[in-house]
Amino acid sequence: MSDTTHEPERADIHLTELPKVAGGLPALFHTAEKLEENHSVVRGTRALLSMNQQAGFDCPGCAWPEPKKRDTFEFCENGAKAIAEEATSLRCSPEKFAALSIDELRLLSDFELGHLGRITHPMVLEGRHYRPITWDAAMQLAAAELKKAGPERSVYYTSGRTSNEAAFMYQLVGRLQGTNNFPDCSNMCHESSGVALSETIGTGKGTVSIEDFDHADLIFVIGQNPGTNHPRMLTTLRAAAKRGAMIVAINPLKEVALTKFAHPQHPLDLFGGVTIAKQFIQIQIGGDLAFLLGLAKVVLERDSEAQRSHDATTVQQKLGDIVDSRFVGEYTDNFGPYREHVLGMPWALITERSGVSEARIREIGELYIASKAVIACWAMGLTQHKHAVATIEEVVNLLLLRGNIGRQGAGLCPVRGHSNVQGDRTMGIYHLPRPQFLDALGAEFGFKAPTLPGQDVIEACEAMEHGKVGVFFGMGGNFLQATPDTPRTAAGLERTDLTIGVTTKLNRTHLYPGKRALILPCLGRSEIDPAGFVTVEDSMSIIHRSEGVLQPASPELRGEPQICAMLGKAMFGSATVAWDALGANYDLIREHISRVVPGFEDFNARVRTPNGFQLPNAGRDRSFTEVKGHRAKFTLSEPPDLALPPGRLRMMTVRSHDQYNTTIYGFDDRYRGVRGERRVVFMHAADMVERGLVERQVVDLVSEWHDGERVAEAFIVVPYDIPRGNCCTYFPETNVLVPMDSLAERSRTPTSKSVIIRIRTR
């Protein structure tokens, strides 16, 4: 298993000074280096020139929207790495599979598996080797096993890179079979945001558009590391900062790019860069709910003062309503109880549970009150905790208080991960589909779509573990490495009758096959698909096209929508659905979508306009009709008690600068000053001293849970500026420590930013 394949030597690791500024020349240099390492200079450079252009393909790196006016190079260092991975000229050919059994392949690291290159042929498992198989035979095998398994024992997993067209076809196949078992990477990602937003404002999506960033006075960036994970967002933040907007970062780590950023394509930036976040709150892991409640308390206290004061009129004239009473009265519910709840909460509790002083909270609270238009952005630092949904609801409360939703320059901005994770949901990849969607789908294709709730990621893991899954189908992704409790997931996959992976490259999931296994190689975003372009939806609900420019890595590759069409035909024949035609011309898939999914009317014409089109967004229009009572809802919650048993640390698992989720680009985390090693644990110096640890000491990490201990061996201690009692490691290496049943309340997202561990010396 990956956690033991790579035992670090102390000498391997280089700790460097933290860079003072992110981006700049080093970013350009690393772009070139990655292209070269993947032997993809010509293919890669050609691809980079078309990336995120109106007539090019969508960067598979992240879901940050493209501005209307685009630079020639609308990409970032990490987007370039994603392309280098895909455009590599290395090939994972049938000869490589013949040379290495799955047991031998398991000995390779995730980095080495990726560097075997692009898979060139459909493969089937025979004994312990994958051998080539024809597409036809592969489809017959898949269809036969899916039929044998039946709807309840079939699981269709999706990773968020899948295009709208592929996602729509994929869910159609599954629903025709009769299942809603559509776990997706969202379950581990922004599910908490979706749940919190749906319950409070009635839509699971954010309410801002990219232009709002030109009008905001204050932008919160909470639990997010854009310098690494959404580098193009830095261009947006840089412009806002230069214009004088205040940016407040809330994070246990002082991520370099949040503080200073030099745009590699703006030469003057190379002398020093632009300060991004003028205010930084070093929150303790999980302390956000208490902190946000503190900000709300400042607003409500000041509002009460203003109302009491004889001078009320002048104060209010200066500041506007402190609480936007017109907005609150017209558009929200439950304000009275919320106000009482927050005003009654003692400051001592708020400061203890956030780890931030009252003075600092008041300072940020005043900045909030002084701002006319406020945006709140967040990502995994908020979503992967037990109380994640309540925390995001508190972000909503804070914005509702001052009418910061549905107004220019203001709103909620959950920053999505995968480049089309939002679109996949829009297309019906969801284990709890809405009845309206199912009705429309059934009407379009003349069948009764299943209504029984399906499995999410954790339910699918548990079902596999108990031998209740016949077929596990992975549309992209790396299920094994992304999910908690790695050995248990591996055992579960191996209990199935058939595992199917549609993929560009080999990953560890494919090495823990069911009794039988198929690998179906697909075209990447950057490659030419004869059936036409595909479409994606970005973080701000803009639908636009994506069209590859490179020759496919092998003539045997098929587009993902076409693979779904081939499977549909093998399973159901062509009587009701024209599978062949759909697989050969994606315009025809879009015609179906235009009749099933609201907002996609006239899809084919509108998506051909230069910047695509924006989906309607009820939140932005202050139309809260999907919430009970038709009003946005204030919600009440208690900040969690974060006290730990003696000797324990709270661990967050994050991404290094050199990875894309489970794809490992390299072993450096330049912005955090670590080179040559990923098995590190970042700790506060005082926590090290308390345990008698020294820099670079090799230790084991032990997590404790009601069902026993989990151990991750051989991690190097690195002293770091992190709150006391907190520590930080990289995912996926520490997924072995995340218990499968440690989940966020209501969203069931694994709590991978809040794992209680102790350090064991060796």
Ligand X SMILES: Nc1nc2c(c(=O)[nH]1)N[C@H]1C(S)=C(S)[C@@H](COP(=O)(O)OP(=O)(O)OC[C@H]3O[C@@H](n4cnc5c(=O)[nH]c(N)nc54)[C@H](O)[C@@H]3O)O[C@H]1N2
Instruction: Return the number of the residue (108 or 380) whose C-beta is nearest Mo ion.
Output: 380
Report in angstroms how near the CB of residue 478 gets to ligand X at its nearest: 4
Is residue 172 a contact partner of residue 445, using CB atoms and an 8 Å limit? yes
Instruction: Return the number of the residue (547 or 560) whose C-beta is nearest ligand X.
Output: 560
Report what 731 binds from Mo ion, ligand X, none; CB cut-off 5-8 Å by kind: ligand X
Report what 377 binds from Mo ion, ligand X, none; CB cut-off 5-8 Å by kind: none
Instruction: Return the number of the residue (450 or 454) whose C-beta is nearest ligand X.
Output: 454
Report what 524 binds from ligand X, Mo ion, none; CB cut-off 5-8 Å by kind: ligand X
Q: How far is CA 458 from the centre of its chain?
A: 17
Report in angstroms how near the CB of residue 460 gets to Mo ion at its nearest: 17
Helix (H) or strand (E) holding 467: none
The DSSP letter of residue 493 is H
Backbone angles phi, psi at 704, to 5 degrees: -115, 140
Q: Which residue has the tokens 């208490």?
A: 290
Helix (H) or strand (E) holding 518: strand 516-521
Return the sign of the alpha-carbon dihedral for residues 140, 142, 145, 148. negative
Instruction: Return the number of the residue (397 or 653) whose C-beta is nearest Mo ion.
Output: 653
Report in angstroms how near the CB of residue 417 gets to Mo ion at its nearest: 3
Instruction: Return the number of the residue (48 or 189) whose C-beta is nearest Mo ion.
Output: 189
Instruction: Return the number of the residue (406 or 552) whose C-beta is nearest ligand X.
Output: 552
Report what 206 binds from Mo ion, ligand X, none; CB cut-off 5-8 Å by kind: none
By rule CB under 5 A, what string of x and - marks binding of each residue 487-526 to Mo ion?
----------------------------------------
SS (H, E, C) 437-454: HHHHHHHHHCCCCCCCCC
Instruction: Return the number of the residue (192 or 334) whose C-beta is nearest ligand X.
Output: 192
Measured distance CA(220)–CA(402) in Å, rounded: 15
Instruction: Return the number of the residue (512 or 731) whose C-beta is nearest Mo ion.
Output: 731
Give me the residues that bind ligand X (CB under 6 A), please. 61-62, 78, 159, 161, 185, 188-189, 222-225, 228-230, 250-253, 255, 283, 285-286, 288, 379-381, 384, 417-418, 475-479, 482, 502-505, 507, 522, 524-525, 560, 652-655, 659-663, 731, 735, 738, 752-753
Residues facing 154 on adjacent strands: 471
Copy the structure tokens of residue 11: 């000498």
Residues in the chain: 762
Using CB positions, name the residue nearest to Mo ion: 417
Report in angstroms how near the CB of residue 277 gets to ligand X at its nearest: 12
Report in angstroms how near the CB of residue 383 gets to Mo ion at its nearest: 9
Instruction: Return the number of the residue (401 or 482) whose C-beta is nearest ligand X.
Output: 482
User: Distances in Å between the alpha carbon of 97 and those of 85, 105, 122?
Assistant: 19, 9, 12
Measured distance CA(646)–CA(548) in Å, rounded: 55
Report what 225 binds from Mo ion, ligand X, none; CB cut-off 5-8 Å by kind: ligand X
Categorise residue 248: left if φ over 0, alpha if ψ from -120 to 50, beta otherwise.
Answer: beta
Measured distance CA(725)–CA(425) in Å, rounded: 37
Report in angstroms how near the CB of residue 607 gets to ligand X at its nearest: 20
Report what 718 binds from ligand X, Mo ion, none; CB cut-off 5-8 Å by kind: none
Report in angstroms how near the CB of residue 573 gets to ligand X at its nearest: 25
Instruction: Return the number of the residue (554 or 623) whose C-beta is nearest ligand X.
Output: 554
Instruction: Return the number of the residue (398 or 654) whose C-beta is nearest ligand X.
Output: 654
Of residues 415-434, which lie at the interface with Mo ion (CB under 5 A)? 417
Report what 250 binds from Mo ion, ligand X, none; CB cut-off 5-8 Å by kind: ligand X
Instruction: Return the number of the residue (226 or 417) whose C-beta is nearest Mo ion.
Output: 417
Segment near Mo ion (CB under 5 A); pick from 52-60, 410-418, 423-431, 674-682: 410-418
Report in angstroms how near the CB of residue 580 gets to ligand X at its nearest: 21
Measured distance CA(654)–CA(748) in Å, rounded: 19
Segment near Mo ion (CB under 5 A); pick from 20-28, 35-43, 184-192, 711-719: 184-192
61 binds Mo ion (CB under 5 A): no
597 binds Mo ion (CB under 5 A): no
Measured distance CA(159)–CA(184) in Å, rounded: 6
For residue 536, which of 425, 415, 433, 412 has the smallest C-alpha distance?
425
189 binds Mo ion (CB under 5 A): yes
Report in angstroms how near the CB of residue 469 gets to ligand X at its nearest: 17
Of residues 191-230, which lie at the interface with Mo ion (CB under 5 A)? none
Collapse the DSSP code of 713 into the 3-class scheme (helix H, G, I; strand E, B; otherwise coil) and give the result.
strand
Report what 476 binds from Mo ion, ligand X, none; CB cut-off 5-8 Å by kind: ligand X
Is residue 92 a contact partner of residue 505, using CB atoms and an 8 Å limit? yes
Q: How far is CA 612 from the centre of its chain?
A: 23
User: Distances in Å between the alpha carbon of 628 and those of 305, 433, 654?
Assistant: 32, 18, 36
Report what 62 binds from Mo ion, ligand X, none; CB cut-off 5-8 Å by kind: ligand X
The 10 Å Cβ neighbour count of residue 139 is 21
- Strand pairing class (498-503; 516-521): parallel
Measured distance CA(326)–CA(308) in Å, rounded: 19
Report what 522 binds from ligand X, Mo ion, none; CB cut-off 5-8 Å by kind: ligand X
Measured distance CA(232)–CA(540) in Å, rounded: 14
Measured distance CA(713)–CA(17) in Å, rounded: 26
Report in angstroms how near the CB of residue 394 gets to ligand X at its nearest: 12
- Strand pairing class (680-683; 726-730): antiparallel
- Residue 212: is it exposed, middle or buried by C-beta count within 10 angstroms (0-12/13-18/19+)? buried
Q: Catalog residues that contact Mo ion under the rule CB under 5 A.
A: 189, 417
